[in-house]
Each structure stands twice: as C-alpha cells, then as structure tokens.
Amino acid sequence: MAGLAVPLLRARTAGGLLVSFDGDNLHVAAPQLHFLSGRPLNRLHDGATVVFISQLTIFHDNRGTVWRHAPERLTVSYDLWQEKFSVILGTTNHRVTGLTASAAEAWCLDNLAISALGVPSDRPFWFRLELRTADPKDLSSVVGEPGISIRGLIEIFSRKPGPDEEPWTLNAGPLRLTELPRTVIRRGRNG
C-alpha cells in the first residue's frame, strides 16, 4: 500500500506545486507561494491596482516541448478601509471581494486551470506555473478586448522582468494523469 502512495505523493508535491485533475482540467495549488507581498503588496497598500499575468503550460518532455498553455489575467485591488483584497479573473470577469491576503492568493490559484484533453493518461508530462506582475505600460500589448494576446504574453514571459515586475515560476514533473489526485470539477473551462 505504501508503494502505491509514493508516486502520488511525488506527483502532488513536485517543486512546491500541487497539481490535481478533475477529469477535464488540471488545477494548481502552491501553498508556499506568496505573491501578495513585497512590491506588489506595497503598491496595493498605496491604493494602486496590481495586475498579475499567469500562464500554465503542459510540456511533452522536460526539455520544454510545449503541448498546451493557458494564459490568465488576475486583477487585484485592496480596500484600505476594510483592509481586504478583491480579485477579478480576466477571462470570465468573475469577481470576489473581502479576502485576506492568503485567501486572495489561494482564490487566484484555485481559479487557474488548463485543459488536459488529449493528454495521454499514462504518458509522462511536465507542468509549469508562471506568474508575474504586469508593468502597466505593457498591459496594452497583452490584454485587449478579445482577451489575452499570446504574442504579447510570450514577449512578457521571454524577457527578464523589469524593476517593478515580480516573477514566480514553479515546475512539476514528470507527472501522469493516472497518478494525479482527483478533484471535484470547479468550473467549466477548456483552454
């Protein structure tokens, strides 16, 4: 019995990134990732809104052959009077308010998902979560009316972060769908 749990434990805790599968999509959690801190938190406490750009990527191999990626925009604001955070998820404009910093971070990650349709259940794959604050002057090249520009997103994630941009990258793998913990479907999404 213990031998069966070892691959599951390894898959769940690889690189501090927890990956789960709901039957259609891969979801992430990263309890040690605290992105509402440092400069972003200072900007929020000064009354500014902070936009985070995320990207989930599934790779065929550990050398970086991309299978699929899913970008997302997370807009975070802070209520100075109530001392609570609000978050808007870019693709759906779903909004949540009245959160503590840790609850806002968890909500952001809980609402990131990438379709696993077509990923063979027994074949290994690698997974990456990238998260970065967006420089306000770069937002127009990434976020537009129809959604997030893949070209603009590639430009942002392929260059070094600027002085006002905080980057976070977490990797996991090799993983197999058959070894991932199952979760309840959180929301309909294929991307």
Mean pLDDT, residues 66-73: 92
Copy the structure tokens of residue 15: 């690189």
Which of 152, 150, 151 has the alpha carbon at shortest distance from 138?
152
Contact 115/91 with Cβ under 8 angstroms?
A: no
pLDDT in tens, 117-131: 999 999 999 999 999
Indicate whether 76 pLDDT > 90. yes
81-85, 104-108, 160-164, 187-191: least confident range: 187-191
DSSP 67-104: EEEEEEEEEEEEETTTTEEEEEETTTTEEEEEE-HHHH
Mean pLDDT, residues 176-189: 77
Which of 107, 131, 146, 123 has the alpha carbon at shortest distance from 57?
131
Indicate whether 146 pLDDT > 70. no
The pLDDT, as a whole number, for residue 163 is: 58
Contact 68/56 with Cβ under 8 angstroms?
A: no
29-38, 63-72, 83-92, 152-161: least confident range: 152-161
The pLDDT, as a whole number, for residue 125 is: 95
The pLDDT, as a whole number, for residue 16 is: 85
Question: Which helix (H) or strand (E) element contains residue 109?
Answer: helix 101-110
The pLDDT, as a whole number, for residue 27 is: 96
The pLDDT, as a whole number, for residue 1 is: 37
3-state class (DSSP) for residue 177: helix
Average pLDDT over the chain reads 81
Backbone angles phi, psi at 118, to 5 degrees: 90, -10
For residue 148, the number of C-alpha atoms closer than 13 Å in the C-beta half-sphere is 23
Indicate whether 13 pLDDT > 50. no
Indicate whether 85 pLDDT > 50. yes
At 174, the amino acid letter reads P
